[in-house]
Amino acid sequence: MEIIKGDFIIIGSGLAGLSLALKLKNLGEVIVLTKKRVFDNATSLAQGGIACVLEEDNHFDLHRRDTEIAGDGLCDPEIVDLVIKKGPERIKDLLEWGVNFDRDPENPKRFHLTLEGGHSRKRVLHVGDYTGRAIENALIQRAVESPTISLLENHLAFELILEKGCSSDTCRVAGVYVIDLIKSQIKLFLAPVVAICTGGAGKAYLYTSNPDTATGDGIALAYEAGCRIANMEFIQFHPTCLYHPKAKNFLISEALRGEGGVLLNAEGKPFMHKYDPVRLELAPRDIVTRAIDMELKQSGAECVYLDITSLPSDYVKRRFPHIYETCLKYGIDITSQPIPVVPAAHYLCGGILTNCWGQTDIPNLFAVGECACTGLHGANRLASNSLLEAVVFSHQAYLRIKEDLALYKEWSIRLPTLKEPIIMDIKEEKVFISHNWDIIRKIMWDLVGIVRTTKMLEFALKRISLIRREIEENWNSVYLDLDVMELKFLSLVAELIVKSALQRRESRGTHYLLDYPKKDYNYQRYTILQKNF
Ligand code: SIN
């Protein structure tokens, strides 16, 4: 087996992974592993922008308050404070890396700031309606130029290598087993520091705004390594994904509602006043999503509509070029027609529990971005706080790694007996894989979705556990096949979501249980799951 050594291994190449790589590049050799192409991630799809307090009339306190209101009482106040106050410095990093946020046409010295649901002030920086792609492209360019960063595409990390005799109190990570999906080979990567930046798990649901890569890999790796996983019940559904038989995962940014878009039901009537009479379309996402879900259930309609036709057509084309062009491709002219929309799984507010340095329960294993649960989002993330969290926490992780690097390097970690994984050919069995993929995604959508009941969750758990047993019994060896490995990750993560949802017997933020419709004021901030060895 090929063994490759570096100073830092980063799994994932979205904003979290690449910004961490760019910070670490002067401290040693950085290896970035990504299972598809470098830009196949959620960052590249982010439309809205990045929330940050940059103007005098737009206080830190207000951003903090908006974050905590959206988070429905579960945000960690110290983390909220840290992320919001460090935001402006991190925006400077992005500018230095070449991200050109849109300027205010009236006053080009200032940035053009936009509004999204749950924000009491305009504070979202953006690049048109393709902010994530602009950020990703700038960071890839900087990473490619750096002689100390190696970007390895089509490399799937499938198991963390822990120190021999690891117990949950003293565990350290030594590296990671990886499948080179092009050469169909297993490789071993070793380094004193490993960071998981693999994003979320929207693919656990039938309908999602997420890219195909969002299969919860990093969360599954960390869980199997014994790390605590927290708040997996808090799946955020984005209220408005394009409803069209040929459109896959296409988001209609919340910024459209920020600029005045109105939601209409199947009869063409506005309805948000019934659900949030003050904030209307700009209520936090969980409220708007449940309102749409209710309208769909009551009317039996397949979608609702987002109407932006009151805005001047030129403005719409200039402000939302990507959404305009994409909808037009599907025969919808958003300047003259309401857009058919439905909610879809969008963001995982929970994940691998980390401290304020992005450190997991294993001291030399870090987790940054959507795969982590830092305490920022509580029960429901405020729009455009995710890119901010990723860039702030990659800096926090960098600071801790810089400080402790000598120590990590001194640890002479005893490697366990390295296994030469058995590789099986599964050509005839492919149908089982795709069948189980589909079933899991349907169970999650139907039973663990926007509105849940304990009975639905118990039923979902039974069914997913059965599928997991079947996977373990039949495909426990390592397969050089992306679908099999992703199915293993996804089924585990689906099980974690259901188990967390069953632990939280209250309705809060994105977790709405019909049989426990109220908040429990003796709440726990975190529902925790940890593997018993
Ligand atoms: C959007 O543009 O609506 C998505 C932004 C986000 O998820 O924060």
pLDDT for 209-266, tens place per residue?
999 999 999 999 999 999 999 999 999 999 999 999 999 889 999 999 999 999 999 9
More confident residue, 163 or 380: 380
Cβ atoms < 10 Å from Cβ of 159 = 18
Identify the residues whose C-beta falls under 6 Å from ligand 1: 47-48, 251, 253-255, 347, 383-384, 386
Left if phi > 0, otherwise alpha if psi is -120 to 50, otherwise beta: which for 378?
A: left
Banded pLDDT at 533 (limits 50, 70, 90): confident
Output the CA 254–ligand 1 centroid distance in Å. 6
Q: Where are the beta strands (DSSP E) in 172-303?
A: 173-180, 185-190, 193-196, 229-230, 235-242, 262-264
Q: With bands split at pLDDT 50, 70 and 90, how would you rate the model's confidence at 168?
A: low
CA of 466 to the centre of ligand 1 (A): 35
Looking at the DSSP bridge assignments, the partners of residue 124 are 51, 114
| pLDDT for 416 | 86
Handedness of CA 12, 14, 20, 22 (dihedral sign): positive
Is 54 or 147 the better-scoring residue by pLDDT?
A: 147
Rounded percentage of the chain residues whose pLDDT exceeds 90: 89
CA of 44 to the centre of ligand 1 (A): 12
Q: Where are the domains of the chain?
A: 239-344, 426-529
Q: Give the β-pairing of 229-230 and 30-33.
A: unpaired
Other Cβ atoms within 10 Å of 424 Cβ, number: 15
CA of 347 to the centre of ligand 1 (A): 9
Measured CA angle at 59 (ends 53, 61), to 5 deg = 110
Distance of CA 176 to the CA centre of its chain: 22
Token pair for 299: 């009317």
The protein residue with its alpha carbon nearest to ligand 1, atom 8, reads 384
Torsion over CA: 510, 451, 327, 311 (sign): negative
Residue 48 alpha carbon, nearest atom of ligand 1: 2
Q: CB within 8 A of 4, min separation 6: which ones? A: 31, 187, 188, 189, 190
CA atoms of 487 and 440, how far apart (whole Å):
9
Query: Which atom of ligand 1 is least distant from the CA of 385?
Result: 8
**From CA 7, how far away is CA 194, in angstroms rounded?**
9
**What proportion of the chain, given as a percentage, has pLDDT over 70?**
99
- How high does pLDDT run on average in the chain? 95
Q: Is the pLDDT of residue 477 over 90?
A: no
Residue 7 has pLDDT above 90, yes or no: yes
Residues paired with 5 in a beta bridge? 190
Q: Report the amino acid identity of residue 506.
A: E
Provide the token pair at 456.
């639905």
Rounded to 10°, the helix 454-474/482-503 angle is 150
Mean pLDDT of the region 303-320? 97
Nearest to 180 by CA among 158, 198, 154, 161: 154
Distance CA 111, CA 90 (A): 15
Give yes or no for a contact between 182 and 482, defined as CB atoms under 8 angstroms apart: no
Instruction: Report which secondary-structure segment, H or E, holds 145.
Output: helix 131-145
pLDDT value of residue 67? 98
Largest CA distance in the chain: 68
HEC string of 59-75 equals: CHHHHHHHHHHHCCCCC
Q: Kindly give the residue spans of alpha helices, DSSP state H, lying in 376-481.
A: 386-410, 430-447, 454-474
Band the pLDDT of 178: cuts 50, 70, 90: very high
As a dihedral over the C-alpha atoms of residue 487, residue 389, residue 509, residue 203, rounded to 10 degrees, the angle is -20
Q: Do domains 239-344 and 426-529 have the same CATH topology?
A: no
Closest atom of ligand 1 relative to the 346 alpha carbon: 7
Instruction: Count Cβ atoms below 10 Å from residue 381 Cβ, excluding itself.
Output: 28
Q: Please tell me the CATH code under which domain 239-344 is placed.
A: 3.90.700.10
Examine the pLDDT at 83 and tell me if it is beyond 70.
yes
Q: Count Cα neighbours of 123 within 13 Å in the Cβ-side half-sphere.
A: 30
Instruction: Of 197, 228, 297, 232, give the one whose Cα is nearest residue 464.
Output: 232
Rounded Cα–Cα distance for residues 354 and 368 (Å) = 8
pLDDT tens for residues 140-157? Answer: 999 999 999 999 999 999
Pocket test residue of 253, 256, 376, 381 for ligand 1, highest count of atoms within 8 A of CB: 253
Residue 515 tokens read as: 């049989």
Indicate the CATH number for domain 426-529. Answer: 1.20.58.100
Residue 170, pLDDT > 90, answer no
Region 176-200: what's the mean pLDDT? Answer: 96
pLDDT tens-place string over residues 484-510: 999 999 999 999 999 999 999 999 999
Between strands 2-5 and 185-190, the pairing is parallel
What distance in Å separates the CA atoms of residue 233 and residue 510, rounded to the nearest whole number?
A: 8
CA 23–ligand 1 middle distance (angstroms): 26
**Cβ atoms within 10 Å of 423's Cβ, excluding its own:** 15
Ligand 1: which residue has its CA nearest to atom 5? 48
Which amino acid residue places its CA nearest to atom 4 of ligand 1? 48
Residue 333 in this model has a pLDDT that exceeds 80: yes
- What's the whole-number mean pLDDT along residues 282-304? 95
Residues designated as active site: 285
| Nearest residue to 233 via CA among 496, 446, 500, 451 | 500
Asked if residues 116 and 384 have their Cβ atoms less than 8 Å apart, the reply is yes
Record the pTM: 0.96
